[in-house]
C-alpha cells in the first residue's frame, strides 16, 4: 500500500509541475474587455463583415473581389478615426493605431500576385485585426479564432489563422473539399 501511495504522490507532483499547454497564437492578442465602448463596436462591425467577405472571395479564388473588398477596407480604416470621438483618449489612440496597422497589411495584400503570398498577407491582416479587436475590447459579437495546418507547417503555431462569427468554419485558405474546422479559441475568453 505504501508503494502505491508513493507512486500516486509522484504522479501528482509530476502532473502539477508540468507547464500548462497554451493555445497557439495567444501572444497575438490580449482581450481588454474593460475598454469596451459600444460606439467603437458599432464602427468595427462593418469592418469585420468586409473582412469575412474578403475571406469568402479568397476561398472562391476570386482575387478581383478580394482586392476590391481590401481596397474598400483600406478606405474605411483611413476615414473611420475621423468619424468618431471617444472620451477615453487611450482607447482612441489604440483604435487609431490598430486601424492603421490593419490598413498597412491590407495595402500589402493588394500588391500580391501569387496564391501563397496572398495567404501570408491575409494571415498578417488577420493578426492585426485580431489584435485590434482585442485591444479595444470588442464585445458586440463572439469572434472565433481558427488555425489550419497544411503540408508545409510542422505545428499549429506555423499555421494560418482566420476569424469568423461561427464555432465551425470552412478553411478559406485551402477550400478544396470544403474542410470544416473547429475554432481553437474565442477572442473574448483570452
> Long-range contacts: 166-173, Cβ < 8 Å, 24+?
169/144, 170/59, 171/59, 171/146, 172/55, 172/56, 172/58, 172/59, 172/122, 173/58, 173/59, 173/119, 173/122, 173/148
Task: Report the pLDDT value the prediction gives residue 21, as an integer from 0 to 100.
Answer: 40
pTM for this model (two decimals):
0.82
Task: Report the pLDDT value the prediction gives residue 150, as an integer from 0 to 100.
Answer: 56
Task: Report the pLDDT value the prediction gives residue 33, as an integer from 0 to 100.
Answer: 82
Average pLDDT of the chain to the nearest whole number? 83
Contacts of 131 (CB under 8 A, 6+ apart): 28, 29, 98, 101
CA dihedral 36, 27, 73, 51 (to 10 degrees): -90
* Dist. CA 170–CA 46, nearest whole Å: 21
Task: Report the pLDDT value the prediction gives residue 172, as an integer from 0 to 100.
Answer: 92
Query: Where are the domains positioned within the chain?
Result: 32-189
Ranges of residues in the chain with a pLDDT under 50 are 4-5, 7-9, 11, 15, 17-25, 154-156
Backbone φ and ψ of 40, nearest 5°: -70, -40
Amino acid at each position: 500500500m505504501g508503494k502505491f501511495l508513493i507512486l500516486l504522490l509522484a504522479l501528482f507532483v509530476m502532473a502539477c509541475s508540468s507547464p500548462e499547454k497554451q493555445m497557439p497564437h495567444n501572444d497575438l492578442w490580449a482581450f481588454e474587455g474593460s475598454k469596451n465602448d459600444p460606439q467603437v463596436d458599432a464602427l468595427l462591425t462593418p469592418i469585420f463583415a468586409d473582412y469575412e467577405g474578403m475571406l469568402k472571395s479568397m476561398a472562391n479564388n476570386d482575387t478581383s473581389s478580394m482586392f476590391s473588398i481590401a481596397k474598400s477596407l483600406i478606405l474605411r480604416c483611413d476615414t473611420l478615426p475621423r468619424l468618431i470621438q471617444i472620451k477615453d483618449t487611450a482607447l482612441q489612440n489604440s483604435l487609431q493605431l490598430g486601424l492603421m496597422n490593419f490598413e498597412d497589411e491590407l495595402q500589402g495584400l493588394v500588391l500580391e500576385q501569387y496564391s501563397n503570398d496572398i495567404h501570408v498577407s491575409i494571415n498578417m491582416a488577420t493578426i492585426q485585426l485580431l489584435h485590434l479587436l482585442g485591444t479595444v475590447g470588442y464585445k458586440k459579437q463572439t469572434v472565433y479564432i481558427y488555425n489550419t495546418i497544411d503540408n508545409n507547417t510542422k505545428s499549429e503555431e506555423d499555421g494560418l489563422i482566420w476569424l469568423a462569427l461561427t464555432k465551425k468554419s470552412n478553411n478559406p485558405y485551402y477550400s478544396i473539399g470544403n474542410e470544416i474546422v473547429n475554432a481553437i479559441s474565442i477572442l473574448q475568453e483570452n
